[in-house]
Structure 1
């Protein structure tokens, strides 16, 4: 390896280590950084009747070791973690570790079942393309990835809600809540596995046509290799380049588990972390968040190790990549986003004409009528009005997050060696986990949700920006400019920035629906907008307790989110809108 390559790898490792240390430090300093009096929180958790006198609070601070400053707090916590001692719960006084181990065991069991669903669904989705390619009957530049793309765009909390309404409430096939019998695992595993299976199926299905079009496949076929041999060889060629993305899908399971466990009342580590954040049980929250973060980091490490193993020793350092798939008929692909945008605009425009906060207790949970076209919620508020005004609380906030991510990514795209490691760590922290951590620091709010999503939404844009900067700097006309003595600042402002800013802005716009779904997921978990805000995720969560009596109250925000998911998918498949592989 060259000196430049070794220096770049060292920079990545340092960046990754610094980012991981920063996350661990933030978790360890939660009692200090939360902005709340930890002594008062502990007193309220253990005794709501005792008077919080200065003497009592000071005694609690001494007992917790919080009177020595932030560094002693962090050092004592890290020393306890290394000994396997995560402290004692502020809520019940018991040791934290057994609760974390129990929750982690439940979550790993659920993730294992979800992984089975993921693999089965991915195989089903890409099997037709693989069979047709092996038989030589595959035509065109794409497989059948439309269904996979739709499934991949659905957030886990939305899938969980729809499964709960259809398979449990309406059909009564499966239990809606609990973790006592094997059948209790079916709905949560499906809710986690369906989006992950769609993502994996789409990745493989998009890559297979490009591999089947490579010259060696025709050579093998002419040499008499059968369909089975060709199929195995093509998979071995395609999978190593996709394994890092498989790791991101596995990371997504850890974040999705928070919402799924909440919907189905599964006592896993995600629900434990969310409950600890709501009750301000900081020792339990520290241990649960640390377990979730390390689980995501471990998934990424295992994915990279699997990729190196599949490539073999001779190619372990090679950048094995596949061409971006070719899109099909542009006119047909433009109709879908136009239709989704039109329906969303019509619903939002109609809802904006109504009052989302007007309470009519006499019309609680009323069905659709002339006065309330889509019914009312548990307080008699118009569902259509809340859906319309919720666009500002969901899509509007997402637009601000998207703009901030664009500016940050444009800046750090010029420093890929210093930020790529941090990007790896950010990819290993799903929005739900970031939301729990930020909510512990800032409290559940729209601002907290925006910060949490922004912290994990920049890596893809930054990777695209770094690729554009590298390509632009290597262009022949810039080499000529440097040769004739053009100042670096002039080259940067007149050539590099214009060439990077435009494509990156289009990429950022395409990510807007996905960011809006992430904001909605935090609202659904109670970590984002607070009542009475009509944010779509929060509205969906508020309607779930009454889903048997008034399913329309849940289906309307779910429908808006479904349209947003379809818009995200259709925009990502427009001709010429696919970003460069990171």
Structure 2
């Protein structure tokens, strides 16, 4: 029954996404005929006669349902329509951009695999250890930030590699590194963190005693580790489709992500439909391939039961690390909040750091420190609201695991950038649209956590006793199940706050989030790219702030994991025992 519910929900969500893509000309809130008229002839007056002629030419006067039917029929025939701006066929443009993006993703996956091998090899040799802080930081740094830093350092300052275009293998290096390093850090960390527990299993000791070579043991350990992690590998590949949009925009790579972004900004909705459809298909095909590979690796005996890994050894982090990072961020934010972020001084444009302007000024002469401080409210404040919405959705769907599982499959196949493009095309770019885009796909980890806790609490002995003494289900739900689930999931949501802030910053960087003159961190980084050679400090300030935020996410999560691994203290156990006893007494 649960599998049927998950399959039905998955199908409904997929159809809803496809319908949203097909109805973009009507969901945009703008008159599509006016967009086409301006694209064809900017000087022509938008009279009613001219607009009606455009509607008849495009078939827009037939209504949204007819438009959706025609679009779906075109998909079946392999016809994606005609561009509103250029008047050319959509399919060749999509295929050309897709070919470039697939080449970039292949190069990025090569970088990711090489980095993951380098992180895993020491663990296999020593039989213990973990991927370390480098892997955690590499996995946490967003692609758009790494791309900007690589552009600044390797392209502008050192001049080692070209910074834009797609004309030869050398043009692929920096984009592939920007995409592959975060993916490789995550892959290496997943495998390296799981290996020590596997190498401590009984069969490894028996093989060593029997004289089996270290190479065969290492190969068998990897064969044991990889199948349960294959879904995570699939999500990493899906993440590459979203990260490719930002990386292609930074390095001016003519891929499908940059095509979709340009179509969204120019309101060329047919081209946007085809590009988003291609990106969605990439994500869904990747997820399906990951599931197929996992089934083949497990074999017929374990396909239904699965293969669980032993819990990884906890990563310990000293509490001073997140405290120090938070102190640096709060100091810069507090100092910036005392200054005016909108004051323009054209005589001090692109001024270098000084006592009057500790982080210099931007292209309009505005104080970078002030904009950095006030941008924290837009970036972190919005992230807190998104985090709360994700928490509420995760808690609600945690009690409906069948429904949540199907919807989560579709949400996991959609990176924030793709959803942000769709929301921006429908409602226009802005902070609210970016927040909605991130909230729509940030709930699955919280829902999965809540579902596991609900199942565990419902199977506990004290709830069985509550039912035996006649406690009503609402009492059990509100006094036992929900409190036991809400607190751990809330802590989980809090740990995801920096990651959500980084996702919002990536949308702002692409022009899909906060709009000028708002002092949002991603937007600050995007604005500074125009004069990055003359005033690199304007780009370094938001880049360092985002890097500190990523470091805070990594160190805070590691410290929380270490604290959780220590287990509850005696006082906590006594308090929980007393709470359960009081609940049983009141229920009786």
> Which residue of 2 is the match for residue 483 of structure 1?
468
Residue 154 of structure 2 aligns to a residue whose secondary structure is helix
1:368 paired residue among 347, 353, 357: 353
Residue 532 of structure 1 aligns to a residue whose secondary structure is coil
Measured in 2, the distance between the counterparts of 1:494 and 1:403 equals: 22
> Which residue of 2 is the match for residue 385 of structure 1?
370
Instruction: Give deviations 1:373-425, integer Å, cap 9, x for gaps.
Output: 11111111111111111100101100000011111111111001012111011
What does 1:461-476 correspond to in 2, within 5 Å? 461-476=446-461
Q: Say whether residues 1:170 and 2:164 are aligned partners.
A: no
> Which residue of 2 is the match for residue 350 of structure 1?
335
Instruction: Give deviations 1:69-93, integer Å, cap 9, x for gaps.
Output: 2211111100001111111000011
Measured in 2, the distance between the counterparts of 1:402 and 1:484 equals: 38
What does 1:559-578 correspond to in 2, within 5 Å? 559-576=544-561
Measured in 2, the distance between the counterparts of 1:180 and 1:143 equals: 39
Residue 177 of structure 1 aligns to a residue whose secondary structure is coil
Shift of 1:132: 1.0
TM-score of the superposed pair, with normalisation by structure 2: 0.95
Q: Any stretches of 5+ residues in structure 2 without a counterpart?
A: 566-588
Measured in 2, the distance between the counterparts of 1:153 and 1:118 equals: 14
What does 1:185-334 correspond to in 2, within 5 Å? 185-329=172-316, 332-334=317-319
Shift of 1:66: 2.0
Measured in 2, the distance between the counterparts of 1:465 and 1:492 equals: 14
Q: How many residues align?
A: 565
Shift of 1:575: 4.2
Residue 298 of structure 1 aligns to a residue whose secondary structure is helix
Shift of 1:579: 9.2
TM-score of the superposed pair, with normalisation by structure 1: 0.96
> Which residue of 2 is the match for residue 418 of structure 1?
403
Measured in 1, the distance between the counterparts of 2:144 and 2:56 equals: 42
Measured in 2, the distance between the counterparts of 1:306 and 1:421 equals: 19
Instruction: Give deviations 1:244-263, integer Å, cap 9, x for gaps.
Output: 00000000000000000000
Measured in 2, the distance between the counterparts of 1:579 and 1:242 equals: 22
Contact kept in structure 2, 1:28 and 1:77, CA below 8 Å: yes
Contact kept in structure 2, 1:520 and 1:537, CA below 8 Å: yes
Q: Say whether residues 1:455 and 2:440 are aligned partners.
A: yes
1:96 paired residue among 63, 78, 90: 90
Instruction: Give deviations 1:343-373, integer Å, cap 9, x for gaps.
Output: 0000001111111111111111110111101
Q: Say whether residues 1:359 and 2:344 are aligned partners.
A: yes
2:516 paired residue among 500, 523, 531: 531
Measured in 2, the distance between the counterparts of 1:427 and 1:525 equals: 21
Moved over 3 A (4+): 575-580
Q: Say whether residues 1:31 and 2:16 are aligned partners.
A: no
Instruction: Give deviations 1:504-554, integer Å, cap 9, x for gaps.
Output: 100000000000000000000000000001100000000011111111000
Shift of 1:497: 0.5
Contact kept in structure 1, 2:256 and 2:279, CA below 8 Å: yes
Instruction: Give deviations 1:107-135, integer Å, cap 9, x for gaps.
Output: 000000001001000000111011111xx
Measured in 2, the distance between the counterparts of 1:269 and 1:183 equals: 20
Contact kept in structure 2, 1:327 and 1:575, CA below 8 Å: no
Measured in 1, the distance between the counterparts of 2:487 and 2:373 equals: 31
Contact kept in structure 1, 2:143 and 2:246, CA below 8 Å: yes
Instruction: Give deviations 1:289-315, integer Å, cap 9, x for gaps.
Output: 010011011111111111111111111
> Which residue of 2 is the match for residue 19 of structure 1?
13
Shift of 1:333: 2.5
Instruction: Give deviations 1:7-57, integer Å, cap 9, x for gaps.
Output: 221211111111111111100000111111111111111111111111221
